Amino acid sequence: MDEAQLKKSVSPFRGRILVTTGILCLVFLASWYGTEMSLHSLLSGAGYMKEYLIGNPELAGSSFFPPSLIAADIKTYCLAMLETLEMAVVALFLSVLVAVPLSLLASRNIMKILLPGRSMTAAWLRRPIYLLAVLIANVFRSINEIVWALFFVSAVGLGPMAGILALAVHTSGVLAKLLAEGNEAIDPGPVEALSATGAGFLKIIAYAVVPQTMPHFISMTLYRFESDVRSAAILGFVGAGGIGFYLFDKVRAFENGDVTTIIIIIVIAVWLIDKLSAVIRARFI
């Protein structure tokens, strides 16, 4: 390839790139006007936002600043944050138990290991199993955690259990999708080498697939744990336990100083989890 061809191949002004960029711009503009987005409304409404943050001087505790520093309340909120973390931990373990086997069935290359061969029977079985696994994962992750929480609150009542089940179902769908993508991106060489020796499904998974997917698995699991902590902090809005219960109660009562305190506790907890995740990633990835 000469210099002229090289410049042409890497040029950002190729016809395909220009057409794609134009389509994306049209989609963005259509979405912007279709949703009635307006910078003017945002700028003109900034004053109302400021008034809301400052609060009503005649209503005690309506201002977001300063945060509430009542020791007994802070202790209560910290214990509720601990419950939120416990909800996320249990939900993560349950979701992994569902997502790992589901991700194997939702991976085309893994299905060829599970049901090898080119016979009509193997091909006929692989496709419906794969499609069913993908469908289950799609249903699990398409429904928001709050909606799942509403379902489980009606089944098991108010409290952390409903929140745990809601997080577990949604996260299992998300993790199954993410892990399946990792499975399909592995190097087929080790798999083919073990298959040629006559190794069974479990040995191929253990010695050829897992070593390649483990860094991806750890990264995605940590990411979902961070997400579950944030989501668990909101599930209390529908009675599913955790610090979200207090957050919703204080927002509804316009006790905004307490709202700021709760938000600070959530931010600190998420920050600490992020630091812990960074340490784990540096150690294992």
Is the pTM higher than 0.75? The answer reads yes
d(CA 202, CA 195): 11
Per-residue confidence (pLDDT) for residue 3, from 0 to 100: 56
d(CA 95, CA 92): 5
Per-residue confidence (pLDDT) for residue 13, from 0 to 100: 60
Cα distances (Å, whole numbers) of residue 86 to 152, 169, 175, 186, 229 = 18, 16, 19, 33, 9
d(CA 84, CA 235): 9
d(CA 180, CA 169): 17
Instruction: Map tokens 């794969």 to a residue.
Output: 130
Per-residue confidence (pLDDT) for residue 141, from 0 to 100: 93
Residues of the chain with pLDDT under 70: 1-14
Non-local CB neighbours of 250 within 8 Å, separated by 6+ positions: 256, 258, 259, 262
Per-residue confidence (pLDDT) for residue 125, from 0 to 100: 85
d(CA 182, CA 210): 10
- Contact assessment for residue 69 and residue 261, using Cβ atoms and an 8 Å cutoff: yes
Per-residue confidence (pLDDT) for residue 60, from 0 to 100: 72
Burial-class residue 155 by CB neighbours within 10 Å (0-12, 13-18, 19+). exposed
CA 143 to chain centre: 12
d(CA 131, CA 202): 22
Non-local CB neighbours of 195 within 8 Å, separated by 6+ positions: 113, 116, 204
Per-residue confidence (pLDDT) for residue 12, from 0 to 100: 61
Of 88, 281, 236, which is closest to residue 171 (Cα–Cα)? Answer: 88
d(CA 238, CA 153): 8
d(CA 137, CA 173): 4
Token digits of residue 136: 């289950």
Of 276, 258, 174, which is closest to residue 224 (Cα–Cα)? Answer: 174
Mind listing the pLDDT tens digit for each residue in 113-164?
888 877 777 778 888 999 999 999 999 999 999 999 999 998 988 889 999 9
Of 232, 269, 226, which is closest to residue 87 (Cα–Cα)? Answer: 232
Per-residue confidence (pLDDT) for residue 100, from 0 to 100: 95
d(CA 223, CA 219): 6
- Residue 239 gets the label, from left (phi > 0), alpha (psi -120 to 50) or beta, of left
Per-residue confidence (pLDDT) for residue 11, from 0 to 100: 59
Token digits of residue 46: 């900034």
- Cα angle at 143 between 142 and 145, to 5 degrees? 125
Note the residue count of the chain: 285
Per-residue confidence (pLDDT) for residue 241, from 0 to 100: 78
